[in-house]
Structure 1
């Protein structure tokens, strides 16, 4: 067996194919694989663009926290002042664009296959459309709408096309007829007992739910993938140490840690996302490790090792892509739990009091269910369908990405 030391794989045995006296072919053992690897290590255009995007992001963070004068807007001409949570959300969206959307676009054949499998679940397709609408409205709406403010004169306004007893609102904003106050398009979904517009609160709640689900999921999936793949690939004491830490972390009372933070520093959406993102990846890390242990013994992984590929290259090119299906499915099912947990904390008054949340609006109307049912019901409906939509999508992704689960959802 002989190969040519040509990094492009061209045949170098002579123009006639017979291997003349001038042939420079050499045996497999004589090939300098480090030189070959270096030849293929040049950055692609895609890698350069992704690196440039993250460089611009890092420059923006440095400008906001180091260069910019404290107390001024991040983008003065637009009056935009980005907080730490906003930067995390931007980083999450950039990561989804670079490592989810772009690969799907590049691998059109596989994308079409996954889509054919996914659309078999009609409920998941409807859920995807619903979540897309929630994401777009939640991302754009707060940029143009002021946060809901307390306005006692507008308290208990009914939703449009509905009416309540005339005495119930302090000042009826709509038409008054037959002793009843009718809803108005000024407040399409009505108002709370404080006069806060429910439609505006629901739109801000959309953004909060997307931030909680996507940011925490990004933190979770990143750490879980690194820990799980590393433990499976290296094995031995590295596997033992990492998995024992995972066992300890899973038993750690994360909720009480968050309560301590709330007691010391007050409720904060940023701290809640970071705490549960950094401490909530143990279960997914176990799933990744279990899947990677099976893939580690596959022939293509062993071949990469025998060819002298580095551990990092093997994990990045072979193990991680082949466990991504399980990771994506697990995270999709994790997101609704995070959204519900945030709403529960807000309902109990343990959330961020400065940020409108569906849980906060639901809590504000719990004492008025008999007379003003819309205060709690409307945001509750949005919360219910959002969680249900993520669960439908998670089931559909499991069936589409994992052939072994085919038919399990029947």
Structure 2
């Protein structure tokens, strides 16, 4: 559209039907540095994934030597690449390149930031979630996975103390018959001697993977279904919305039980179920917004200019409902995180991964003597869900122009 404005400025007013839309489309397809970076990143991702699937197979691991600042030796971190890891990397690529247009537009970025920073709890929540994300992704490279150490069971958090008879062996100092916490286990340990700090950090990775991957799957399906229903109308709209009604009444829990019985309660199965069954509500929001946009003059102008249905939906409908999509997706993440924690709490999650819900369940029998085992991951879970809710409310107000005051 900048080219159209330039032509109007130089040559005077120009009729709409005289605009060279083919030239504009060709300019939109021009290879830029951002698109080149996207192609390279996606190409490397596809090649690495192909190598993992076709060549390495189940033996695909990456060993990284990490020198910890408090240690004189390097520890080797072995990353056993799983299907969830590949989905997580793909999700990060999608989110990263989706944020590029806003990041490059200084005026738009400043406008959204001015509206967003009015909500102080949301700003604090955004910084908290950024820390959770970094700890759950990058931080796991610097922290050894929690390991069994019965001798270090029931150690209290640092600055706290318990009766010396509660821990198996007190790692910290014993003062007046009470075992004090130590920085070796800053958040204490479980009944198996696993450090709660490491369990909390690795639990962050599980929560971020579930929330991000499942939400992106749901958003992709919901956007396709919602825009198709709104733009096509008629029997297609009716059929799609009736399917949404049926899907939302279907007990997802029993579907997970069935697939867990067939394939095991893996995190991959859980994410796929959340993603392919949790898009109904978002699809309704997208459809409602798209129906309103369908009546706008720019949609009629695009049709009159000869634009195809796919082009109208891709270039006009979807971008103009993206604000509602982002808000709905942000508010969907805490539901997914809480659902994963609930399933792990009752023992239906992936027992090989240190989830927050699993850690809470581990300490529910020790609340009288070792209350910190369930309390620490419970506080992280509570704070994360609350932060996402604050963030979603603030994004709704910042992205919706109807919220102007």
TM-score by length of 2: 0.90
- Judge conservation of contact 1:183–1:190 (CA < 8 Å) in 2: yes
**In structure 2, C-alpha distance between the alignment counterparts of 1:76 and 1:158, rounded to whole Å:** 32
Separation (CA, whole Å) in 2 of partners of 1:88 and 1:165: 46
Match of 1:230 in 2: 228
Residue of structure 1 in register with 2:68 after alignment = none
Q: Which structure 2 residues correspond to residues 223-302 of structure 1 after superposition, within 5 A?
A: 223-302=221-300
Tell me the alpha carbon deviations over residues 185-234 of structure 1, each in whole angstroms, 9 at most, x when there is no partner: 11111101111110100010111111111111111111111111111112
Among 362, 365, 375, the residue aligned to 1:364: 362
Q: 1:218 aligns with which of 177, 192, 216?
A: 216
Contact map agreement 2:153 2:190 (CA 8 A) in 1: yes
Question: CA contact under 8 A between 1:64 and 1:74: conserved in structure 2?
Answer: no
The residue that corresponds to 1:114 in the other structure is 112
Distance 1:163 1:107 in 2: 53
1:21 aligns with none
* Aligned position for 2:374: 376
In the TM superposition, what is the alpha-carbon distance from 1:141 to its structure 2 partner?
2.0
Conserved? CA contact 1:159–1:374, under 8 Å = yes
Alignment of 1:151-170 (within 5 A): 151-170=149-168
Partner of 1:52: 40
The gaps in structure 1 that reach 5 residues or longer are: 1-5, 18-26
What is the CA-CA distance between 1:104 and the residue it aligns to? 1.3
- The structure that has the greater radius of gyration is 1
For residues 201 and 22 of structure 2, the distance between their equivalents in structure 1, rounded to whole angstroms, comes to 56
Q: What secondary structure sits across from 1:322 in the alignment? A: helix
Q: What's the secondary structure of 1:80's corresponding residue?
A: strand
In the other structure, the counterpart of 1:303 is 301
User: How large is the RMSD of aligned CA atoms in angstroms?
Assistant: 2.5
Task: Check conservation: 1:7, 1:39, Cα contact below 8 A.
Answer: no
Name the counterpart of 2:70: none
Partner of 1:402: 400
User: Measured at CA, do residues 252 and 33 of structure 1 come closer, stay the same or move farther in structure 2, by a change above 3 Å?
Assistant: farther
Instruction: Show the counterpart of 1:87.
Output: 86
Aligned counterpart, 2:72: none
CA distance in 1, matches of 2:313, 2:158: 57
User: For the residues of structure 2 that align with 1:204 and 1:28, how far apart are their CA atoms?
Assistant: 57
Q: Is residue 62 of structure 2 the alignment partner of residue 63 of structure 1?
A: no
Stretch moving more, 142-151 or 120-129: 142-151
Once the 2 structures are TM-superposed, how far is the Cα of residue 53 of structure 1 from its aligned partner?
1.9
Residue 251 of structure 1: CA displacement? Answer: 1.6
